[in-house]
Structures are given as structure tokens and as C-alpha cells.
A and B are shown apart, each in its own frame.
Chain A
Amino acid sequence: MTLVKPIKSAAGKIDSIESIRAGFETLGYITNPQIATSIYLAQNLEKPLLVEGPPGVGKTELAIATAKYLGLPLVRLQCYEGLDESKALYEWKYGKQLLYTQILRETLGEVLQGAKGLPESMKRLHQFSDVFFSEQFLEERPLMKAMRAPAGAVLLIDELDKADQEFESFLLELLSEYQISIPEIGTLKATIKPIVFLTSNNTRELSDALKRRCLHLYIPFPDAELERKIIAARVPDVSVKLRNELVAFIQGLRGLDLKKLPAVSETIDWARTLLLLHANTLDAEMVRTTLNVILKFQDDIEAVGAQLTTLTDEALKAAERPSGSL
């Protein structure tokens, strides 16, 4: 069966880019104009939003913040190799189905009572309602849950690049029509179109067909000013001085040739670490002992360790220049 109801957008809370920025900021998610615009467009054009960028810049957070902002439930689907529709979309309740067939067999006698010959029995059997493949036996998985959420939902399909290419193609119908086809039942349309986020770390190129159907947002590492704001929002207890210094240090690190550059999540962790250690200012020794919070490869730690003093000095100098830029 098909649920045919007028499709309308989830909430009217998104009417201008400014209100989105302000609203997200109260939730502790600091946006730049691009990100705010993307939310605005995703809502108004009713298109899925594909978010790409290096790990740890807040791709997943964006979806979570959006759900919070709109007061909608967040339905999350984590992708991995081998993910298929029975885990993503729906599954039949096999146990119940088996029970049903057994009950059916027991009642068969009643149904066929008085029927003469095989043709008439078959006719009666056809008249008997067929619920074996019906919604009663349908087990919801994330995609379907999001489609059928009564008030709409925010659907997050996380790390799509980890799933197989086949799964990508499977998503196309959902992304462009907001409907899904279940062979045994038919087409299921979303009651209220969910807001869809897809994230990718770019371990492989996503197909053009998928990209065509989505808005594409690339979140790069934030610039110093934005990062300071993020730290201010996420770790408010850190003093302005230390905040400027640690952000300057991280920004400096991103200019180096490292295996894995520190992302915003690492900056936040580091700020929390320094706060725990009651640091008031950066010094080379402090940085050295906490370096493993921001760098995740031994090679990187060694490479940075060698030039730690200069890097710290530079960061301290850089932090002084834009003092009070908040």
C-alpha cells in the first residue's frame, strides 16, 4: 500500500540564513555562511545535502545540530562495507510470518469448508486476505523509519563512502523521490520529507549520479577566527589568551606536512586537556606532554617534536597579533 498524504516541509523554523546561524550558535555549533546557506537551501529546495571534508570538522555534528535546532528526531544510519537493504531499509518479521502460516494451516479447514473440488477451494483461498507480505510483518530499519516519521525527521547517512557502490545506487530513489520500493508491497512515499544528510570522508569518489541529486557542501578546516569561536562555544572555560594561543598553534600545525592533520575535534579535545592541566599559557614542555592529544601518528609526533620550540614561539607571537578579535 502507499501512504499518500500531502508532502510538506518539516518545520518553518528556517526562514533566513541569519536566523539559522544564530540558532545554531545557541546550540554550540558555529557555522560559517556557507554552512548556514547549505541548511537553508536543503530545507527550501528539499534536497539531500552531501557533506564532505577532512575527518573531524563537524560533518556529523552538523546533522545532529540540525535535528536539535528543528526539534526533529535524528535517524542515523552508519555505513560500512556489506551494508544492504535488509539492514538499511526494512526486514520481514520472519518469526511472525512463520507463525502466521501455521495458524493459516490450522484454519484452512474452516476456510475451505463446503468447497467442492480443487477449483473452488483455490477460489476461496484467493478471496482470503493475503497478509503474509504486508506492513504488519514489516520491520522498520533506519531509512524507512525516517520516511515514516510522523513529524518528519533528520536522516543522517554517515560515512557513505564506506558502503559499497551498490548501496549508493540503491539510495538514488530515496534521495530524488523520497520514496522507496518494496517489491512485495509497492512504493512507499515519505509522509513528510525528511531532511537528509550524507557524509563522506572521501575514501573513494562517490558516483556522479549520487552527487547530481544532492547539494554538495565541502567543510574545510576552519580559519583561525572561526576556530576561536568554536573553542569559545565548546570549551567556554578556557581563557581568551590560551584560546588564541592554542588555536594559533593548531593553525600552524596544519601548515606542516603531516600524515594526519589535527581537526577541530582534536582542537576541542586539546583545549579540554589543557584546561584540566590548569594551563594558563602554552609552553613547549606543556605542548610536548599533550602532543598525543592532537597528533595520532608516532611519525607525526616525532616530526613536530623536533621543531616544537619554534612552533610554540610562532604560535605565541601569532596569538598576540589578533588579540581581542573576538
Chain B
Amino acid sequence: MDQTLGDFIKALRNADVRVSSTEVVDAHDVVDLVGYTDREMLKNALALVLPKTADEKGIYDYTFDRFFKFDELDEMEMADRNDAAGEASIVPQQDDTAGQQGQGQGEGGGKGCAQRGAEGEGAPDITGAVQQAEIREKLSALSQMVLSGDRAGIAVAMAEAGEAVGLRNIHIFTQKGLYSRRILEHMGLKALNNDITELRKRDSADAHELAERLRKGREYLLSQVRDYVESQFLLHADVDGSHLREDILSKSRLTNIERRDYRMVQEMVRKMAKRLIAIHSRRRKVYDRGALDIRKTMAKNHAYDGVPFDIRWKSVKIDRPKVVAICDVSGSVAKVAHFMLMFLYSLNEVMPKVRSFAFSGRMGEVTDLFRDSDVETAMSKTLAEWGQGSTDYGRSLQDFAELALNDIDSRTTVIILGDARSNYGDPGSEIMKKIHDRAKWVMWLNPEEKNTWNYADSVMRKFQPYCHQVQVCNSLTHLERIVSMVLRSAT
């Protein structure tokens, strides 16, 4: 298997693009067809095979650009040294005939390389360069590359070393130092260090100057390798870390989740809802009416000489779950409500018939808002509009009865999220009874732990008789279980 492509696919997977093995095979076919020569074409071609949604295309573009970036090393001080080295290698050739007279002034070599190059041919310290060239020939390969400013050479050596020490297996960030060191070792840092020590020992200004340049080069090398390891780490690792995080998040209480993890949780809810809808996709029933299914009727009535005796029908009834969700957004449950709203939003995306309501003092429908705006606007608008005032269950349920009671039928599942704390007001349990009688399933999700139910102004016991199911719900694991239940019961 093509290692480069394999690594690239691994990097894509790390970036959350789902690539199946069939697609890997396709990718190989694509590479066989278009080759690695034309970068743009390769990118366009692989984009057809690997990422399969618009979002993934974006991630793919980004990953491709980073992965197939030609490892350009920073220019930094390399640039001037490059010039200098270039001149130094050209000058002696030209001076074979002309430059002999300057021999006695070799000690001028203490000056900077660039300066000397600028002085041009015939300058007094040309022989210094000749001597330097002789010294340089004895140095290690890495030192020579550093001195001649061979950026491409260094990049190649670095990539080779990375390959040799298995950099693509890097997992967690604490390994970065280890891998940097291994790469440097593999590139021959030891020899470079030896060269520096060796040069310093010599009693020559040229050698000292070279040593100084090597020392600077080493620093540069260190920073390059660090950058390289860092970029490779971002491509190849991370995935385990993020899975670990998701795992922890799904078990933590909703209220404790920090804002910065918000987006991630959102993604998780989305993934979850999608998965669930995939499992519980629409179910169908064949009914005794609709169009005549000629094929089946013919087949069935063969036995009766083709006389249509036993008639078959084509009509298929598509049954979709109908969900009505009511969410308490008052102060006491605000943080969890935020979360529940987000979850409802995701449900809205994947199920066609979800009606959502929010209340604290009064109740209102937010279905349209959820459908037309993005999740953040929808939530903040809901909270701004309905999150004011103290909770009044009686009043809110009254509102609900006016808004949607007639819409509740034997296929509807009603989900209510609330702490059942009605500030000692009338809980309106007679409306709950009506809802209960009409709906297929009524579920109450309470963010409080069971032992605080019915304490103080909580009137859970008054609602409980009218619910088919009462659940504690304050973490994603709870939510996940509940959704699975909804979809099963709502068929």
C-alpha cells in the first residue's frame, strides 16, 4: 500500500472525515490514474473520493494543503548565509589565476562571510575561503548542509528521519520532545556537535568562525525540527485525545460543561441524533386500500387461472413519529434547558415532525424559530423571549392546551422537561391528565436528582400519575437513552 496516501487518509480520519475501506481502494485507483505530479489535479480528484459531505470537503481542503505542503523551512538567517556560501564556492574557482597575490593576508578571515563576499574577487582574504573550504570537506554531512544553507536537503533529511523514527505513530503531546530528539539524533546531531567542538579546538580564526556558524545553524535546526514535529503531531495525533474528551463529556453533568466545550457537545448531540434516526428510520405498514398491485395480484391468482380472485393492494402507509416537546426555560433550570433546547434543535433537524414549546411564566411555540434559524440564534431568542418571569405551570399548561392540545393524537409522544417547581402555584394537573389521555406517550424529564423531587415547591407527585414515564435527565448519557426510547415508542 502507498504509504503517503495511507498517512494522508489517517490524517483525514483524525480530522473527523469518515473514510471507509472501499474509499481507500478508490483513492488508490485515483492516484494510479492521475499520479502525484499535478498537485491541483490530485487534490480535485481525491476530493471526489474521500470526503462525502460539504463539511468534509472543507476539512479535506485544509488537511490536504497542510499534508502535501512542501516543507518549506523558514528563511531566517539561512538566506544571507546562503548567498555567502554561494559566493564562497564560486570565488575560489575564479581566483585560481588572479587571486594568488593575496596569500599573506589570510588572517582577514575573521570577518563575516557576507562582507567578504561583497568585497568581490581579488579581495585580500580569498585564501581564507579556500582554507575554509578545505576544513569544511572534513565535516559531517549535516554540518555541510547547514553551512551551505541547503534547505531542501535539510527538509528531505528531516522527513527521512521522521519516517525512520516512526513519527506518524505519535499519540499524545508529551511525546513531542522525545520525537524531536530522536529525529535530531537520526539526522546526525551528534556529528554536528563533534564538529563544533573540533573546530573550536583549532587555533584558527576561520575554524572559529565556522564553529560559530554551525552553532547558529544548530539552533535553527532545532527550531525547524520542533515545528516539523508539531505539524506532524497535529496531523497524526489528537484523535485519541478528542475521543477521550467526548467520553468524559458524555458522562459529566450538563450544568458543569464549560462554554468552550459547547461546540463539541453540540456536535456530539448531532451525531447522536443522526445515529438514532438511522436506527429507527421510518416504518411502513401495508394497508387494505390504495392502488391495485397488479404484479402481486397476478402472481397470487395464477392458481385461479388468472382470474383476479385474491386482490393485492399497493398502498403503503408511512408512519413517522410525532413529537411534541415542552421545555422549561426559567431560571431554575436555565442551564440544563439550554442544553435540552440544543438537543431539541438537533431532533428538529433529523425528524420531520417535532413541535417545540418553551415556557416559564407563559408558554409559546418555538417550532418555526427552530426550523428557520441556526442553533445559537434559536436558543438565545427562545431564552430571551420565554425565559423571563417565574415559573407558572398552571398558566403555561393552559397556554399549551390552547396552542396544541387538539394536535395531540394517538401517535404523538409528548416530552416535558422541567423541575416541576411551580412556586406554590396551581400546577394545572387536570390539563396534564387531558394530555395524557390523548397522547400515545407522555414523558417527563426532570433535571433534578430523584431525592429532591417533591421537596419545597416541587410538585412532581402531582404530575407523575399522568406520565407514562418519569426520568432524571441531566447528562448526555441520560439524553441518549431517552431519545432511543422516544423513537422506539413513537412508531
Which residues does chain B contribute within 8 Å of A44, judged by CB atoms?
A: 33
Say yes or no: B48 contacts A86, CB within 8 Å: no
Which residues does chain B contribute within 8 Å of A207, judged by CB atoms?
A: 278
Does A67 reach chain B (CB closer than 8 Å)?
A: no
Say yes or no: B281 contacts A41, CB within 8 Å: no
Say yes or no: A38 contacts B298, CB within 8 Å: no
Residues in A lying within 8 Å of B, measured CB to CB? 17, 33-34, 37-38, 40-41, 44-45, 47, 49-50, 52, 81-82, 86, 91-92, 94, 97-98, 101-102, 105, 164-165, 205, 207-208, 211-213, 215-218, 220, 259
Which residues does chain B contribute within 8 Å of A37, judged by CB atoms?
A: 41, 44-45, 48
Which residues does chain A contribute within 8 Å of B318, judged by CB atoms?
A: 81, 164
Interface size on B, residues (CB 8 A): 32
Q: A208-B20, A216-B48 are in contact. Are A41 and B306 (CB under 8 A)?
A: no
Which residues does chain A contribute within 8 Å of B47, judged by CB atoms?
A: 34
A-B contact pairs, 7 of them (CB 8 A): A37-B44, A37-B48, A38-B44, A38-B48, A41-B30, A91-B295, A92-B294
Q: A45-B26, A94-B294 are in contact. Are A217 and B306 (CB under 8 A)?
A: no
A83 to B416, CA, bound (A): 37
The smallest C-beta distance from A100 to any residue of chain B, in angstroms, reads 9
A105 to B295, CA, bound (A): 21
Say yes or no: A45 contacts B33, CB within 8 Å: yes
One of B41, B51, B274, B294 near A17 (C-beta < 8 A): B41
Say yes or no: A211 contacts B295, CB within 8 Å: no
Q: A17-B41, A37-B41, A212-B22 are in contact. Are A45 and B30 (CB under 8 A)?
A: yes
The smallest C-beta distance from A310 to any residue of chain B, in angstroms, reads 24
Q: A34-B44, A41-B33, A216-B51 are in contact. Are A86 and B20 (CB under 8 A)?
A: no
A220 to B44, CA, bound (A): 14
Does B219 reach chain A (CB closer than 8 Å)?
A: no
Which residues does chain A contribute within 8 Å of B372, judged by CB atoms?
A: 259
Does B40 reach chain A (CB closer than 8 Å)?
A: yes
The 4 closest A-B CB pairs, nearest first, are A37-B44, A215-B48, A211-B52, A216-B52
Q: How would you classify the secondary structure of chain B's contact residues: helix, strand, loop or mixed?
A: helix
Residues of B421-477 whose CB lies within 8 A of A:
none
Say yes or no: B51 contacts A86, CB within 8 Å: no
Q: A97: nearest residue on chain B (CB-CB)?
A: B298
Say yes or no: A45 contacts B29, CB within 8 Å: yes
How many Cβ-Cβ contacts under 8 Å join chain A to chain B? 75
Which residues does chain A contribute within 8 Å of B137, judged by CB atoms?
A: none
Say yes or no: B306 contacts A98, CB within 8 Å: yes
A33 to B54, CA, bound (A): 17
Residues in B lying within 8 Å of A, measured CB to CB? 18, 20, 22-23, 26, 29-30, 33, 40-41, 44-45, 47-49, 51-54, 57, 274, 278, 281-282, 294-295, 298, 305-306, 316, 318, 372
Q: How would you classify the secondary structure of chain A's contact residues: helix, strand, loop or mixed?
A: helix
A92 to B293, CA, bound (A): 12
The smallest C-beta distance from B61 to any residue of chain A, in angstroms, reads 11
Say yes or no: A92 contacts B295, CB within 8 Å: yes
The smallest C-beta distance from A207 to any residue of chain B, in angstroms, reads 8
Which residues does chain B contribute within 8 Å of A45, judged by CB atoms?
A: 26, 29-30, 33
Q: A98: nearest residue on chain B (CB-CB)?
A: B306
A208 to B274, CA, bound (A): 12
Say yes or no: B294 contacts A212, CB within 8 Å: no
Q: Considering residues B33, B48, B51, which has the most beta carbons from chain A within 10 angstroms of its beta carbon? A: B48
Which residues does chain B contribute within 8 Å of A216, judged by CB atoms?
A: 48-49, 51-53
A50 to B53, CA, bound (A): 11
Which residues does chain B contribute within 8 Å of A98, judged by CB atoms?
A: 306
Say yes or no: A94 contacts B298, CB within 8 Å: yes
One of B26, B54, B278, B282 near A218 (C-beta < 8 A): B54
Say yes or no: B281 contacts A205, CB within 8 Å: no
The smallest C-beta distance from B352 to any residue of chain A, in angstroms, reads 9
A216 to B294, CA, bound (A): 38
A218 to B58, CA, bound (A): 11
The smallest C-beta distance from B13 to any residue of chain A, in angstroms, reads 15
Say yes or no: A41 contacts B305, CB within 8 Å: no
Q: A34-B44, A37-B44 are in contact. Are A165 and B29 (CB under 8 A)?
A: no
